[in-house]
Structures are given as C-alpha cells and as structure tokens.
Homo-oligomer: A and B are copies of this chain.
C-alpha cells in the first residue's frame, strides 16, 4: 500500500507529490493526459519561467522534476476510487491501494453540448451510476460516452437494468461492450417536458428514463461524488487542510475552485502535500 495516490499530473498534483516525496512518503501519481493546461499555447505569467512555454511543455517539466526526485508517475487513466480501509484506485492496468488520495484532476467534467441539456440536469440526466443507478431498476437507461470511463459506468448499470443503450455521440468506441444497443449518431436534443423522456439524434429518437453522462475522462468531481464527498456548485468542498469530508481524501487545484491559474494550483498542491504528510503522521498507529 502506497502512502498517497495522487490522481492527476498537472501543477496541483505534481506540486503535492514533490512535497510528499521530500517528506519521504511513498507517492504514486496517476495521470491520463495533460488536461486543460496541456491545451494552453503559451504560459508566460507563471513565476520563474523566463521564456513563455506551452502548457504541454510545463506539464512535461513538472513530471520530469517529480521523477528526478523519485516520484513514481504512471500514465494510466483512473476509472474508479473506493474508500474502505484506505483507498483502492482502479485503472485499466490494475488496482492500487493507498492510505490517502489526492484528487487533482483539474476542471470539472466535460458537459454535453446538446440542445436543452441544461434543462434536464438532475431531472433525468445523471453523472453517477453508483449514486443513481438503483433509481432506474428495469428502466430504459441510456449512457453517453465512448471510453474507459463509460465502460466502467456501464458495468455498474448492468446491475440495475438490461435495457441499456450506449450513445457514442459520433465518437469511436475504445472497446465495444457486449449485450447493449449502440447508437453512433451525434446527439442533437434532449426530449421531455418536466423530466427527460428521451433523446434525439440526427436521424432518430430514442425513448429513455435516464441518461448517464460519462464522456471523456472521469473528473475529480466525478470521483468525489461517487465516494460521497461534499460538493458545492460542482466544486469539491475542502477544509483548510485541503481534506474533503471523507477522512484521507484530499483535493487541490482547479477542482476545488478559486483562481484557475497555474500559480494557484501549485500553491494548493504545496499546502496539500504538507497537510497530507501531517495527516499520515496522525493515523500512524
């Protein structure tokens, strides 16, 4: 069991990992991709970087810095996190365990760009199979997504219904799941009056009782919701020590809100690294 698993390899996650490593903690960083920062063309307002760098280059430097100090960084997408005696963190490659977890996956989830989407969030549109799947036993369940995260959610939903339709929204499936209907057309509009009653693609309409959204990669808020962490307006609520209401589950960076700047994420990470170290000391017994 590691001391800490950091989910996310951007400024907040790597900054925390560096502090933890220097406290001689056994820390593992799991990152899928470069997130929002990786898409930034040019960063020139982050202190200490004389010449402007791309977001991708800054992330690469952070990873190199952490690895030079001995931090283990693995390019694996996290699919699920479970709290119990410590935490277990599932990726496509395996399951890792740790005494504490830091969520640092950046901005909250990608939303669907579909007409009337916002009208039905919480009224037939859900973001958490573990949370809401039970409400839709034997109902018509739709799930939108095309990657590992969608497959993970789908496996949970199989427990509740056999009437399952995957909407890839025009994207290519990473793996093709069995025993489900698959619709590849782009989504156009959510149907319904008070609640969602179905979905329209460019060519057809599909009646549904619920649509689970699992596009892209699971975000920090997706994980936080599943574990039962308090959220406020889609941001993870943390205390002054960057700990959520779940003992041992921490969050830092854009996923807790505040200024969406590298400088702020780095400072969050530094402070979270220090408080996680203190937390680990306090539970050592």
Contact = CB atoms under 8 A, between A and B. Distances in A.
A44 B69 contact: yes
Interface string A241-285: 000000000000000000101111011111100100000000000
Contacts of A274: 259
Interface in A19-51: 19, 22, 44-51
A1 interface: no
A241 to B, nearest CB: 12
Contacts of A46: 48, 266
A125 interface: no
A65 interface: yes
A11 interface: yes
A15 interface: yes
A47 B259 contact: no
A61 to B, nearest CB: 5
Contact of A18 (B18, B22, B45, B65): B45
A44 B270 CA distance: 12
A22 B45 contact: yes
Contacts of A62: 47-48
A14 interface: yes
A46 B11 CA distance: 10
Task: Please give the count of copies of this chain that the complex contains.
Answer: 2
Contact of A48 (B49, B264, B267): B49
A233 B3 CA distance: 36
A268 B264 CA distance: 8
A58 B65 contact: no
B45 A50 contact: no
Contacts of A50: 61, 64-65, 68
Interface in A40-87: 44-51, 58, 61-62, 64-65, 68-69
Contact of A61 (B14, B48, B65, B270): B48
Q: For the complex of A and B, list the 7 residue pairs with the smallest distance between their C-beta atoms, beginning with the closest.
A: A267-B267, A263-B270, A47-B266, A15-B47, A263-B267, A50-B65, A263-B266
Interface of A: 11, 14-15, 18-19, 22, 44-51, 58, 61-62, 64-65, 68-69, 259, 261-264, 266-271, 274
Given A48-B49, A48-B62, A50-B64, 7 more contacts: A18-B44, A22-B44, A47-B269, A48-B48, A263-B263, A263-B269, A267-B268
